Structure 1
């Protein structure tokens, strides 16, 4: 949603801090698409992403008075959405995550030619096919730039497990990309 003429994001946030519901609704609508994009990277389906986005916005609204205008709002919102998604994943998968460290393997890097055949949308679809823990660790490390130590703290797992999940996720992506490349070559 576009903001009305004459209202900047900074002005909208200032109005939201007054507690008036109309600016809060405008803020939600204005950043909804962005927040859903972030949520979908971490959630298995759209319903889970919507839950994360709504929970995240509740956190935003409750802590808006602590937001400092000297930093970008989008970055603050993204961090809240990511942390909300991680909290949801941790809560749902508390006992399901196990690390089989002995099976971890170091894999060779994929060739650039395979990636050239796929669009960004194709790659995102492949990411959606990864097991949830692999997808979450991949997103946190490769896309959002967190270290394995930071990921370990966020997900309450050892840093070595974060490395294993990333390695396994990358290997599964390589396999899916290789399969997609073979399918592409057959069609060509």
Structure 2
């Protein structure tokens, strides 16, 4: 939830366009929580997410003169954050050792288990995914990008985007089933 500071977003944006540092500070404070929420969906490390958010605000302030005031600022900022998170992912990709593990087939119980999960539980499950799977899942399911856009932004084939999304969903189902099994075993003890 945003704190109201008594100045409209549009007035803050216009102040930023004119180079007013106080407007930049207030706009940053106004959208910091939202930006961190988006950043944390793409990066499980809070420090990395904070770095992406700060870099995103710098990019936003440098390019705010191109912002169309007839469009929602929140959507414009989200796209900057997503692109910056993807850049961070690419930069760190060479340091990652990803292993794909074949997971259990969905037994139809995952949908029922989802009803019992909180938002924190779901975010914890997303954090278990390999970074590329989490990124594609977030971009497709949460941010509404299509596979062509994802492939272009991540510099991967469209077919890989589809495969990563499918694997992410399979892994999430398996995690949910594992959690459900643990809960059942605790209940019968």
TM-score, structure 1 as length reference: 0.89
2:42·2:85 contact (CA, 8 Å) conserved in 1? yes
Query: d(CA) in 2 for partners of 1:2 and 1:95?
Result: 38
- What CA RMSD, in Å, does the superposition of the two structures yield over aligned residues? 2.5
Query: What's the offset of the Cα at 1:107?
Result: 6.5
Instruction: Extract unaligned runs of 5+ from structure 2.
Output: none
Residue aligning to 1:181: 180
What CA deviation, in whole Å up to 9, does each residue of 1:36-84 have, x standing for no partner?
0000000121011011101100100001111111000000000100011
Query: d(CA) in 1 for partners of 2:107 and 2:164?
Result: 16
Residue aligning to 1:27: 27
Query: d(CA) in 2 for partners of 1:158 and 1:114?
Result: 33
1:147 aligns with 2:135: no
Residue aligning to 2:111: 112
Within 5 Å, which residues of 2 pair with 1:1-16? 2-5=3-6, 7-16=7-16
Relative to structure 1, the CA distance from residue 89 to residue 51 in structure 2 (aligned partners, 3 Å threshold; closer, same or farther) is: same
Relative to structure 1, the CA distance from residue 107 to residue 181 in structure 2 (aligned partners, 3 Å threshold; closer, same or farther) is: closer
Query: d(CA) in 2 for partners of 1:13 and 1:56?
Result: 15
Within 5 Å, which residues of 2 pair with 1:51-70? 51-70=51-70
1:97·1:133 contact (CA, 8 Å) conserved in 2? no
Query: What's the offset of the Cα at 1:111?
Result: 3.9
Relative to structure 1, the CA distance from residue 167 to residue 4 in structure 2 (aligned partners, 3 Å threshold; closer, same or farther) is: closer
Residue aligning to 1:78: 78
Query: d(CA) in 2 for partners of 1:138 and 1:187?
Result: 31
Query: d(CA) in 2 for partners of 1:23 and 1:56?
Result: 16
Query: d(CA) in 1 for partners of 2:169 and 2:40?
Result: 19
Query: d(CA) in 1 for partners of 2:143 and 2:90?
Result: 18
Query: What's the offset of the Cα at 1:96?
Result: 5.9
SS at 1:4's partner residue? Answer: coil
Query: d(CA) in 2 for partners of 1:19 and 1:127?
Result: 39
What CA deviation, in whole Å up to 9, does each residue of 1:141-162 have, x standing for no partner?
1111111111110000111111
